[in-house]
Amino acid sequence: MLRLLKFAWQNFSRNIWLSLVTIIIIILSLFLINLIIILNILVNQSLNYYKNKVDISVFLKPEVTREQALAIKDELSGNAEIKEIQYESREQSLEKLKERYQNNPLFLESLKELENNPLGETLIIKLRQIEDYSKVISILQSENYNKFIEINFNIFSDIKKVINKLDGISQKIYQTELITVAIFGIIIFFLIFNTIRLAIYSHREEIAIMRLVGASSWFIRGPFLLESILYGFFAWLANLVFLFPLLNFIQPYLEKFLDGDQFNIFSYFSQNFMPIFGWQLIILIFIGVFSSFIAVHKYLKV
């Protein structure tokens, strides 16, 4: 085995420029694949983040009392689709409204002209799953609650459309990820195939001598198979060297985008190192060995 490794390293170092070009192209291919994986993770994380942020603000009519509002809150809390309900008094709603329009003096003056608070009590409903939106809306539209509510239910269908579009984007990115992996897998296959073929051609005299002295077919094939593994391993290692600093660099920008959410992409890739990068190494080794085996079988004729 050590002799095969020695011969493989000699083949690798003798054609150092060809080896470097091969490794660089594999690195670029891996880097692009990992960028799409990062994009897919970020889209899914962003989608989950904004799904969790979506809630239903139920504005009750002004004549609904605090006791009635709390009774409605208790009744709605019994539904399995509802995770949490926050109660907001009409006074709190008015203060929030004033804060929102604090830079609009005309609006604030108009509020002062009103003798009574025109707003009603508010219930803010948080869902267990965004898919339960339709069920909760149906409950609110029922005769038991609709008479107390002052709200346009059409806005919820618009929110649902936005969520569906985001889900569609996530699916398209995932499909793009699979297509990209397949395309670059084929590129890497033919790249290693042709590199090994050139290596075989440059060592044709040595191979002829090995045949004459009775070397076995696997002894001749071995160095080329190990050489292909070296291409994949060095490219995989270099890709990690470039990728993890990039993840560390984009983390602060990700936190700003997700409004302080605790998701850490560096930690995510570290914790899922084997599922992500372990499989990449295994696939690279498989592609390398398979392509070099075909090249050896086709061109050595041993």
| DSSP string of the chain, one letter each residue | -HHHHHHHHHHHHHTHHHHHHHHHHHHHHHHHHHHHHHHHHHHHHHHHHHHHH-EEEEEB-TT--HHHHHHHHHHHHTSTTEEEEEEE-HHHHHHHHHHHTTT-HHHHHHHHH-SS-----EEEEEES-GGGHHHHHHHHTSHHHHTTB---THHHHHHHHHHHHHHHHHHHHHHHHHHHHHHHHHHHHHHHHHHHHHHHHHTHHHHHHHHHTT--HHHHHHHHHHHHHHHHHHHHHHHHHHHHHHHHHHHHHHHHHTTT----HHHHHHHTHIIIIIHHHHHHHHHHHHHHHHHHHHHH--
In this predicted model, what pLDDT tens digit does every residue of 121-165 receive, in sequence order? 888 888 877 777 778 888 888 777 777 887 655 555 566 666 677
pLDDT tens profile 257-290: 766 667 788 888 888 888 888 888 888 888 888 8
Cβ atoms of 136 and 81 closer than 8 Å: yes
Residue 302: pLDDT band with limits 50, 70, 90: very low
- Beta-carbon contacts of 229 under 8 Å, excluding residues fewer than 6 positions away, are 285, 288, 289
The token duo for 189 is 């296959």
- Provide the 10 A C-beta neighbour count for residue 235: 24
pLDDT-based confidence at residue 237 (cuts at 50, 70, 90): very high
Return the structure tokens found at 73. Answer: 């809150």
Q: Which pLDDT band, with edges at 50, 70 and 90, does 80 fall under?
A: confident
Least confident piece of the model among 14-28, 36-50, 184-198, 212-226? 212-226
Number of neighbours of residue 72 by Cβ within 10 angstroms: 22
pLDDT value of residue 154: 52
- Cβ(56)–Cβ(156) below 8 Å: yes
What share of the chain in percent tops pLDDT 90?
0
| Amino acid (one-letter) located at 222 | G
Max alpha carbon distance in the chain (Å)? 108
Q: Sketch out the chain's domains with CATH numbers.
A: 2-50+163-300 (no CATH), 61-149 (3.30.70.3040)
**Residue of higher predicted confidence among 148 and 51:** 148
